Amino acid sequence: MALIEVHNLRKEFKKLVPKTGFLSGIRNLWNTDYTSHVAVDDISFKIEEGELLGYIGPNGAGKSTSIKMMTGILVPTAGEISIAGMTPWKQRREHAQNIGVVFGQKTQLWWDIPPIESYRVLKTIYKIPDSVYEKNLNTFRDLLELHEFENTPVRQLSLGQRMRADLAAAMLHDPRILFLDEPTIGVDVLAKERLREFIKEINRTRGVTILLTTHDMADIEKLCHRMSIIDDGKLLYDGSIHDLKSRYGTERTLVIELDDAPYALHIPNTRVLREEGSRVWIAFDKEKLSASDVMMKVAEKHTIRDLTVEEPEIESIVREIYQSGLDRKKEDGHVAVLDV
Ligand SMILES: Nc1ncnc2c1ncn2[C@@H]1O[C@H](COP(=O)(O)OP(=O)(O)OP(=O)(O)O)[C@@H](O)[C@H]1O
């Protein structure tokens, strides 16, 4: 049995349709017109112990709603979740001992007191034994360099420092599972690197199972082997990043350095993406052409000085998947599940 099992999960929110026009403010007091919005629509997946899953999707896709159901904050409209054999919203207290949560947009720490004091409160709440608390705190102090700011009130911390403090707080009670909802949002490149190192380290050395949502594809490339893509509440892809690249990322880019400026490069089944002096970027579909086919066509007109083939960035593949979801929504009012 997998550590996390999600079956046919669904969450509908009721939204009030506000009255407009004459005395709308007063009429809204008795308003009972609701519409239903499906935020998570029949999602199923499993996560094995020790996995680090990237859970991505565009804004409003349903990622945070899924996490809130997995953490027990929200109760699903339908479907089941089993985490370490427990139903999160039914066994909230026991479940809380098993999980740590970081919402990048909102700190779990007390705003007006330093992190170290929040940690002491968490120690009491989670009944963390002294030895475990000291050991974890010292480890996280080293990994996240907490000593720089652990005595500064949270409201005075930079975003990067705040995230580091939040990550340590989420891990103090030794949870088996960590839910990270956009932990790198808004932080600079160096701080991102440090957060990623920490996430990688606790997954590797402590075997913590991690579900990570992010809009930064570099987080996914650097941390995850597997990723799930959701859009409009539906699961569009669940598999390895390697498979995603080989199934959807068939476009390659040939970067060629010529000995003169490029001209007349009208090669069927290719697109010239960019030209810069004597350098040209040509995109082609590797299932229709090979790099040497393109190279030979270019060599008919030019002398080639140098060339490289660029693999597709995960970012561009994901952008295309989001885009195809959007196009389908425009066409027939819903997003079809990709054939994966
Ligand atoms: N409490 C709520 N009441 C009504 N609608 C909600 C509520 N929470 C979320 N929604 C709606 O559910 C949908 C999914 O929201 P959710 O926050 O899960 O998306 P997300 O994928 O996390 O987006 P983002 O990347 O912007 O954080 C959105 O359309 C949102 O407006």
Distance between CA atoms of residues 29 and 191, nearest Å: 47
Digit-coded pLDDT (tens) for 160-182: 999 999 999 999 999 999 999 99
Distance between CA atoms of residues 217 and 313, nearest Å: 9
Whether residues 259 and 194 fall in one domain? no
Query: Probe ligand 1: pick from 63, 71, 228, max atoms within 8 Å of CB?
Result: 63
Phi, psi of 94, rounded to the nearest 5 degrees: -65, -40
Using the atom order of ligand 1, give the atom closest to the CA of residue 68.
18
User: Percent of the chain beyond pLDDT 90?
Assistant: 64
- SS3 of residue 139 by DSSP: helix
Sheet containing strand 78-83, edge to edge, reads 34-47, 4-16, 78-83
Whether residues 191 and 136 fall in one domain? yes
How many domains in the chain?
A: 2
Domain assignment of residue 209, given as a range: 4-245
Q: Which of 245, 264, 287 is the last residue of a domain?
A: 245
Cβ atoms of residues 42 and 79 within 8 Å:
yes
Residue 335 included in any domain? no
Distance between CA atoms of residues 14 and 264, nearest Å: 58
Whether residues 33 and 152 fall in one domain? yes
Whether residues 157 and 254 fall in one domain? no
Residue 174 included in any domain? yes
> What pLDDT score does 329 carry?
57
Whether residues 215 and 90 fall in one domain? yes
- Nearest one of 220, 222, 240, 245 to 313, comparing CA atoms: 245
The answer to whether the CB of 67 is under 6 A from ligand 1 is: no
Cβ atoms of residues 254 and 299 within 8 Å:
no
Whether residues 151 and 173 fall in one domain? yes
Tokens coding 340: 């994966």
Residue found under tokens 């899953």: 53
The residue with greater pLDDT, 321 or 156, is 156
Is beta strand 234-240 parallel, antiparallel or unpaired with respect to 78-83?
unpaired
Residue 333 included in any domain? no
Cα torsion through 168, 169, 170, 174, rounded to 10:
80
Whether residues 240 and 254 fall in one domain? no
> What pLDDT score does 336 carry?
40
Per DSSP, 201 falls in state H
Query: Probe ligand 1: pick from 16, 64, 71, max atoms within 8 Å of CB?
Result: 64
Whether residues 184 and 261 fall in one domain? no
> What pLDDT score does 327 carry?
63
> What pLDDT score does 326 carry?
57
Q: Which of 215, 245, 275 is the last residue of a domain?
A: 245
